[in-house]
Amino acid sequence: MEIVTSIVIQTLLLSLALGVTTLRCWIRTRVEHRRLTMADYLVWGGWLCTLGWVACSTKALYVQVEHPLDEEGRTDTVVYLETVFVACYLFDTGLYFPKASLCSFYWWLIPSGFRRLRVAIQVTSGIIAAAWLASIATDTFIAPNVSDNWSLENQMNSTWNSYNNLTVNWTLNMGTDLLLFCLPFFIINCLKLRRRQKIGLVGVFSLGAITMAISLARFIVYSMDYSIADADGNLWCTAEMSTAVIVVSLPSLKSLVARATPTNTTNRSNTGYMPTGASSGKKGGTYTAHIQGGTVDEDEMELTFLDRKASPTPTGTTGEHEVGKDGVVVTTNVTVTRDVL
């Protein structure tokens, strides 16, 4: 692949990731009228790392125009070695920001009363953090000497030219991707959902398979020919980083395609939900619904956790706390009063 072609495609992928991330935040603040969460900021961290990677990739490719690599992949300029060394950190860090965003979303979604799920998220977050630290440590110490990363004499010992570094970091990356891919399906088992909702959630959670497929393809390409040209190899890396950022943001775009459903209180389930902001005055009872964190639709209010233990409430008052999509907490308070005859 030509250097210019590689740079153009990488720029397009970066721009696409920027557009999706910006759209995600616009929907959050303008359409849903909610503030940005930690998950949103972490996605931006992933995009900024992708931006840094593309900048380093572009610079390294342009350096090759005047200082082409020899048959063994050696260069005669230190600028190239310094650039690709920094790129290693940007790439291996950028892959973990989308993972951290997902963990933050799950942490926000699961109520504190569900200890097993909360512990599972804690363990998952710890594993991802440890994998990132291990990845950074590998980039730093896999070379016999750190100075080998910008040494013309010992450049083949550098992190950039180390196949072992590729294998270790790819294993850590794929392992954590698989962990995050499997975790949501345990959450689905704890939810009381209609069949249509379960199919929708499975489809959303399965989007992570796209990132894993690209990561696997990148590893196969490098395994078949580790001396692959930077124009091709860098493009694969950019595709993986951009896809990770895009896939994490796609579920947040549901507001653009979700069709409005009319509010209807008939044939409701026995979960005690009522439409947002609705109240019905019946003889002997007053019903009030409160929404914490934003508005939800009727389907969101149908989503409940199984095995929920009701918290003790004063006589005459009952309360339920439910978590809808995107971490929306639905609190329904029912106050019963008696008519005096």
pLDDT mean across residues, the chain: 79
Task: Give the Cβ contact number of residue 212 at 10 Å.
Answer: 19
Which of 80-84, 107-111, 112-116, 289-293 tops mean pLDDT?
A: 80-84
Domains of the chain: 3-257 (1.20.1070), 281-336 (no CATH)
List the structure tokens of 334.
């029912």
Q: How confident is the model at residue 193 (pLDDT cuts 50, 70, 90)?
A: low
As a whole number, mean pLDDT of residues 230-234 equals 95
Per-residue confidence at 335, pLDDT binned at 50, 70, 90?
A: very low
* β-bridge partners, 94: none
Mean pLDDT of all residues in 90-101: 96
Would you say 183 and 110 are in contact if contact means Cβ atoms under 8 Å apart?
Answer: no
Measured from the Cβ of residue 291, the count of other Cβ atoms closer than 10 Å reads 17
Mean pLDDT of 84-93: 97
In this prediction, residue 292 carries a pLDDT of 36
Q: According to the per-residue pLDDT averaged within each range, which of 69-83, 262-276, 299-313 is highest?
A: 69-83
Instruction: Please state the rounded mean pLDDT for residues 54-70.
Output: 94
Does the pLDDT of residue 325 top 60, yes or no? Answer: no
pLDDT at 45: 97
The per-residue pLDDT for 190 is 67
Report the percent of the chain where pLDDT is more than 70: 73
- The pLDDT score that the predictor gives to residue 263 is 44
Element (H, E) at 288: strand 285-292
For residues 207-219, average pLDDT: 92
- pLDDT tens figures, 237-266: 999 999 999 999 988 887 776 544 444 433
Is the per-residue pLDDT at 217 higher than 90?
A: yes
Helix and strand counts by DSSP (H, E) for the chain: 11, 6
Res. 135: pLDDT tops 90: yes
**Residue 39 pLDDT > 60, yes or no?**
yes
For residues 314 and 166, the model is more confident at 166
Judge whether 1 and 235 are in contact, CB under 8 Å: yes
Mean pLDDT of 58-70: 93
Q: Tell me if the pTM is above 0.95.
A: no
Q: What's the token pair of residue 43?
A: 């996605």
